[in-house]
């Protein structure tokens, strides 16, 4: 009996350690080498002897983005594409500018949790939990406020202030991915069958085809 109990505790300890494990870099640096022909899940590392301080540097988050577009929104990204030193570190950053009434359409990041921090203005951010609840959780943020959006969930942002809103967004992945609902559904190539979409969205087929034409 004692042997069985000891084995059970040991097995439980093993599984706890396994499930609690989080991937971390295996070396100090793995600066991305975009010129390499090697293909893997990520980007290959530059020769450490060729690494320089500028591989970890970015300038531009202080510059407002151009919001003169249908969304009234602009994103200034700081990812591994701009900062090769971010490679394997599981982190990306972005500045989001929203003009009055500007917004970001419903979307999701399949590979990352997001933290939004308002630097200026007022922002409504909300996300929807998955089936079967589809619970809508939203909050209006003001300067200095922050909000967390869990990985993979549909969410949105919109400027609810009278002036411009500036937000700093951080995700825990160097390539979070983004699925934009309107663009993905109505702008798919080749197009999704309009009869099917009309039935799925409880819309007239003509409206669906008009939406597809817009994208």
Question: For position 152, which CATH number holds?
Answer: 2.60.120.10
Any domain includes 132:
yes
Any domain includes 17:
no
Residues 161, 57 share a domain? yes
Residues 132, 119 share a domain? yes
Residues 198, 132 share a domain? no
Any domain includes 1:
no
Q: How far apart are CA 65 and CA 198, in angstroms?
A: 36
Any domain includes 16:
no
Residues 73, 130 share a domain? yes
Residues 194, 170 share a domain? no
Angstrom CA distances, 109 to 28, 99, 152, 175, 213, stand at: 27, 23, 5, 9, 26
Q: How far apart are CA 10 and CA 4, in angstroms?
A: 10
Exposed/middle/buried for 77, CB within 10 Å: 0-12, 13-18, 19+? middle
Q: Is 109 annotated as a binding residue?
A: yes
Any domain includes 205:
yes
The alpha carbons of the chain give a radius of gyration, in whole angstroms, of 22
Q: How far apart are CA 51 and CA 160, in angstroms?
A: 44
Any domain includes 201:
yes
Tens digit of each residue's pLDDT (9 = 90 or more) over 78-113: 999 999 999 999 999 999 999 999 999 999 999 999
Q: Contact at 8 Å (CB) between 127 and 80?
A: no
Q: Is 62 annotated as a binding residue?
A: no
Q: How many domains does the chain have?
A: 2
Q: Is 124 annotated as a binding residue?
A: no
Q: Which residues of the chain register pLDDT less than 50?
A: 5-22
Tell which residue, 160, 153, 148, has the closest CA to residue 128.
153
Residue 17: per-residue pLDDT: 40
pTM summary value: 0.83
What range does the domain containing 183 cover? 179-215
């Amino acid at each position: 009996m004692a042997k069985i109990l000891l084995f059970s505790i040991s097995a439980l300890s093993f599984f706890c350690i396994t499930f609690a494990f989080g991937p971390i870099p295996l070396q100090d640096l793995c600066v991305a080498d975009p010129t390499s022909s090697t293909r893997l899940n990520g980007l290959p590392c530059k020769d450490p002897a060729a690494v320089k301080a500028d591989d970890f540097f970015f300038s531009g988050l202080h510059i407002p983005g151009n919001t003169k577009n249908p969304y009234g929104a602009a994103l200034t990204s700081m990812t591994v594409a701009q900062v090769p030193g971010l490679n394997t570190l599981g982190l990306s950053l972005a500045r989001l500018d929203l003009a009055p009434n500007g917004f970001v359409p419903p979307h999701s990041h399949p590979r990352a949790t997001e933290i939004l921090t308002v630097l200026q203005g007022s922002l409504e951010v909300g996300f929807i939990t998955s089936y079967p609840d589809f619970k809508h959780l939203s909050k209006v943020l003001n300067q200095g406020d922050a909000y967390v959006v869990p990985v993979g969930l549909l969410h949105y942002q919109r400027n609810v202030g009278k002036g411009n809103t500036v937000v700093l967004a951080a995700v825990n992945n160097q390539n979070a991915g983004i699925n934009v609902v309107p663009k993905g559904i109505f702008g798919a190539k080749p197009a999704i069958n309009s009869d099917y979409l009309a039935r799925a969205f409880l819309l007239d087929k003509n409206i669906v085809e008009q939406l597809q034409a817009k994208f």
